[in-house]
Structures are given as structure tokens and as C-alpha cells.
Amino acid sequence: MKLPFTGYWNLFSRHMLAQKGRFALLVTLLVGGTGLQVAAPQIMRSFMDAAAAGKPLAALTLAAAAFIGTALVQQAVGVARSYLGQSLAWKATNELRADLAGHALSLDMGFHNDHSPGELIERIDGDMAELSSFFSQFVLGLASNGLLLLGIIVALFLEDWRAGLAFACFAAGSLALMSRFKSIAVPHQKARRQAEAALYGFVEEQLNGTEDLRANGAVGWSIRELYLRQAEVLVHSRRAALRSWLLNNATEFCMVAGMLMSFGFGYWLHAAGLATLGTAYMFVHYLNLLEEPLWEMTRQLQSFQTVGACVERLTEFLALRPEVTDPMGDDRQGDDRECVGRPEPTKAGEGHELAFSDVHFGYDGRNAVLKGISFGLRRGRILGLLGRTGSGKTTLARLVFRLYDPQRGSITLGGRDLRDSRLTDIRKRVALVTQDVQLFKATVRDNITFFDESISDERIMRAIRELELDSWLESLPGGLDTMLDSGGQGMSAGEAQLLALTRVFLRDPSLVVLDEASSRLDPATERRLERALDRLLAGRTSMVIAHRLGTLDRAHDIMILEDGGIAEYGERAALASDGSSRFSGLLRAGLEEVLA
């Protein structure tokens, strides 16, 4: 994929144009700094010619003072330009980094199943670090050096058209030669960045599985795989470095040719009486000034090759589109609750809060996990969902939450097809509580509210009291201000589940999906959690994925899944009293044993 410069512009223009005022100031500093660089050799030329002509000491002192003053102002402008350029670059790239993170969160679960967190971190943060350097150094340096090159050529044309023409031809030839090499390493730099992303993803995966690796004697395999992935990075780095070496040598050739040209041209003009000694020196000085931009452009072109790979990867990443999206033409704004709460159902979902109609689903469209699922869950009813591992229980819950869309059939919530509802509305109306509660390195308050500052402490405390969790909060050293570690370290599984239930209670959803939230708790904590669940589920429609017999005591209806289909469905009491039903058999045999 060869990305034109419009690709770079499309990626960053919105964030750069938002800072037009600071950008205009940066341009002013660039032009001013370039003018000072071009003026300095002119002042030195006048000093040398004045000294050669025996001018008074005052004239020489004035020229020297002008040269020193120009150099000092030039340094100050350079510092200001560098600071402003870095600031602009970091602000723009940080905003783009936020856009990338938001885009990653909007992509389907299928994408996240195929890409590890470490890989995404490297893509969003690692590539953006390269791009920040690109903006603060390459773009700024390219503009500065381009202006300097143009200023030098204009100054030489004003001095002598032959000198200006010779330097213009030299600069054009040098740039043309370097442009031939500017993209030779991009494919290898891109491959290197991809290999590094895969390496970081592997490291993240191995660190998460440290206990299992040690317990099962797989440390040696892990280290060997690490070496193999590092070797892949090394291979692509070597290939990219070789091509960068070619670019360095091309620049060195240009500089040697330019130095020979400037000395020869200056000597010829001076010997022919067409130029003073100061003018001949000025030619050499200008070439030395030209050498720095050319070398800098060479280094920047090498950086450009790395950045080109990053921009390609980010452009490809931003081109990815989720399959689960909001309905077309739904442009309602704000945080309205039109589809939240308990709206009147349409005829298709009359009386049902949740209804499945001939739903078929398979991950990646293959190997169907759910086959022809049809049922209706009335408002205020609790459905107990049973089945062996792999029967489709968790998949069914994911469809309700619209993490995926079914390949066939429809799912309605409050009588409305999920595909006709906004994702934000569904996420407000449906709450999912799993065994694994995600906690953040933040206060209890922030973990309960998910950093929503509009939720007052009074609302939080009402929810905690409603769920009878006062004693739990009082046991924390700082109450709502207690800092939690990432991943919930320092908290028991029961405390994490209690916090998750408080989150749900604050949202006030109409449908709650529980994935056996109490399966890992000790009896005392489980009783405490069960009381909280009773308060949470009161008056709400619920679906409980069960692995233990006690979880089904509050269920009104029972559904048993087998091989992706409904093996049995009905009222709990009726199925329990029917000796020929599967559910009755499970009760007699012991749920834990049969569903293991």
C-alpha cells in the first residue's frame, strides 16, 4: 500500500487546523528564522571585505556586533520554534490517539478476539509516538530546511545569476536523487512495526499467564517463542537499516560534489575578478548552510519511512468498520431515554420484554453455535438458562447485549428489533453481570459510576443502602474515596461482585443478564450477595445463566440449551413437578454434576 501525501493530510488535518492561531505563529517563526540564517553570511561577507579594504575599526566592530546579535536572535527564534512545534505536534497526536482508542472500542468483539491488548497498545500508542516525532521534527524540519534552501538560492541569484543557477541545479539534483530513495524502506519498516506489535501482544499474553506457565512447565517454550519473535523484529530491522544506509551514501555523494562545486566556483569568480574574497567565502558558507538541511532531510526521510509505515497501519486500522452498528438514519442526539426504561411494545413483541425469533448464529459465520432459537420472556419474569459448556448460553447473552448480530432471525427488546435500536440505548437498558468483574485503578466511587461525575454521592449511597451493602462500604478504609488497584487486587471476589451490582442498580436497567455471578463465593458472602440480587432483580426482567442449583430458586422459567438448540423450556414449577422433564432429572441428579 503506497500512501500519497493526501493520506497524511487526511489523517491529521482536522487536529492541526483546530490550532490555526498557533500554527500561524509557527509559520512566522519559521520564516523569520530562515531570514536570519540567510542574512548571517551576508554580514560576514561585509566584515571580510571591510577588513580586506582596511576600513576603520568602528565599521568592523559594527559588522561583528550585527553578526553576533543576529546569531543570538536566531537561537532564540529556534528555541521558540522548537517549543511551539513540539506543543502543536503533541496536542494533535494526543487528540488523534484519543480518536484511535475510541475507534478501537467501537470495533466488534470479533476484532478484539483476533487482536491482543498488547498489539492494540503498540498500534495506538507506539505508532502515535513515532507520529508525534514526525510532526515535531520531520514536518517542522522539512518546512524550515525547505525555506532555508529557497532563501539561499534567492540570495545567490541576487548576488550572481550564475552562482544562483549552479546552486539551484545542485539542490534540484540532490533532492531528486534522495527522492528516489525516500520510500525504499517503507515496506520493511511497516513489517518491523507489525512484528513489534505482535511481540508486545505476545509479551502481554505471557505475563497474564505467568502462573499457568510456571505450573505447567511451559516457561522454556515461552522464552523460545520470545526469541523467535525478537528474531523476526531483527530481520525486518536489518532490511530497513540496509536501505537507510543507501540513502545516507546518496546524501554523502551529493555533499562531496557540492563542496567541490562551491570551492571551484568561488575560486574561478575570485581569480577572474568577478567576486571579492568575502563573496567567495559567502559561497562556501552558503554551501555549508545547505549541507545541514540536506543531511537533516536525509535523517528525516529515514524517519519518514518509519512514519510512512505507521501511517499506513493507522489508515488501515481506521478503515476497519464494525459490523454491529446503529441503524441508518437514526440521528437522534443527546442522552435521551426514548428507548430506555419500559416502552410500550409493538404487536410483534406483545407482552414480552425479550423475544428471540428463529435465531441462528455462528462466530465468523461458521459452525453455528445457536440454531433456530425462539422464545419470549415476559416483563418481570426471571429466566434460568441451563446447559453444558459449549451449549450456547454465553453466546445467547452476548446477542442480547448486541455484542454480535445473528446471521438469521431477529431479537426484540420491548417489541423493537435490536438492529433498529441505538447501541447506547441497548447498553442503558440491558445490564450484564459476569463472574469476572473489571475494576480500574481508581476510587470506589469512580469504579461504581464508571467515572461519570454527574452521579452524586447521594445516589450512590441510596443504591448501596437499597442493596444492604452499608457494612461492606463501612469496612473500606476510605469509604467511597478508597483507592482500588487495577484488576481488583486486594478485593475479594464477593466484594467485586457487590460493587458490580451497585453499578447495575445505579443504571436502573429493565433487563438484567447474570452469568452465575455467585459461583465463586464462600457461603457467607454468597448469602449476602443473594440478598442484594433479590433487591436488584425485584420487578425487573432477568436472565440468569446458572451452573448451580441454588441460583435457580428465584427463576420463574427454565430453558435448557443443548447443541445450540432449546432442549426444554417452560415454567420452573411445572418442569420441576414433571418427573419426565429434563429439569426434574437435573434436580434429582444434582445440577453441578450434570452440567460440569
pLDDT at 373: 92
- Locate 423 and state its grid cell: 447501541
* Region for 44 from its dihedrals, namely left if φ exceeds 0, alpha if ψ lies in -120 to 50, beta otherwise: alpha
Residue 379 dihedral angles phi and psi, to the nearest 5°: -60, 140
State in Å, rounded, how far the first CA of the chain is from the last one: 50
More confident residue, 582 or 21: 582
More confident residue, 298 or 402: 402
CB atoms < 10 A from the CB of 465, how many?
A: 11
For residues 101 and 465, give the distance between their C-alpha atoms in angstroms, rounded to a whole number: 36
Q: How far is CA 477 from the centre of its chain?
A: 35
Interstrand relation of 382-387 and 557-562 (parallel, antiparallel or unpaired): parallel
More confident residue, 109 or 513: 513
Look up the CATH architecture of domain 5-319.
Answer: Up-down Bundle (1.20)
In 3-state terms, what secondary structure has residue 324?
coil
For residues 560 and 579, give the distance between their C-alpha atoms in angstroms, rounded to a whole number: 16
pLDDT higher than 50, residue 336: no
- Tell me the pLDDT tens digit for each residue of 215-235: 777 888 888 888 998 998 898
- Tell me the pLDDT tens digit for each residue of 132-153: 766 666 666 667 777 887 888 8
User: What integer best gives the mean pLDDT of the chain?
Assistant: 77
For residues 195 and 231, give the distance between their C-alpha atoms in angstroms, rounded to a whole number: 10
At 541, which helix (H) or strand (E)? strand 541-545
Could you say which DSSP state residue 326 is in?
A: P
For residues 289 and 148, give the distance between their C-alpha atoms in angstroms, rounded to a whole number: 8
For residues 457 and 235, give the distance between their C-alpha atoms in angstroms, rounded to a whole number: 56
Q: 65: buried, middle or exposed (CB in 10 Å: 19+, 13-18, 0-12)?
A: exposed
- Tell me the pLDDT tens digit for each residue of 292-329: 666 666 666 656 666 777 777 777 788 888 878 888 65
Mean pLDDT score, 498-506: 83
Sign of CA dihedral 251, 252, 257, 259: positive
pLDDT at 554: 84
Residue type for position 215? A
pLDDT at 593: 46
**Is the pTM here over 0.75, yes or no?**
no
For residues 154 and 44, give the distance between their C-alpha atoms in angstroms, rounded to a whole number: 18
pLDDT at 497: 78
pLDDT at 37: 82
* Region for 540 from its dihedrals, namely left if φ exceeds 0, alpha if ψ lies in -120 to 50, beta otherwise: beta
CB atoms < 10 A from the CB of 120, how many?
A: 22
For residues 446 and 448, give the distance between their C-alpha atoms in angstroms, rounded to a whole number: 5
For residues 548 and 386, give the distance between their C-alpha atoms in angstroms, rounded to a whole number: 9
In 3-state terms, what secondary structure has residue 580?
coil
For residues 179 and 28, give the distance between their C-alpha atoms in angstroms, rounded to a whole number: 28
Q: Where are the domains of the chain?
A: 5-319, 348-594
- Locate 324 and state its grid cell: 454491529
For residues 132 and 306, give the distance between their C-alpha atoms in angstroms, rounded to a whole number: 12
CATH 3.30.1330.40 corresponds to the domain 348-594: no
pLDDT at 454: 86
pLDDT at 345: 34
* Rounded alpha-carbon distances, angstroms, from residue 443 to 490, 493, 501, 586: 13, 17, 16, 43
Lowest mean pLDDT among 274-278, 367-371, 407-411, 466-470: 274-278
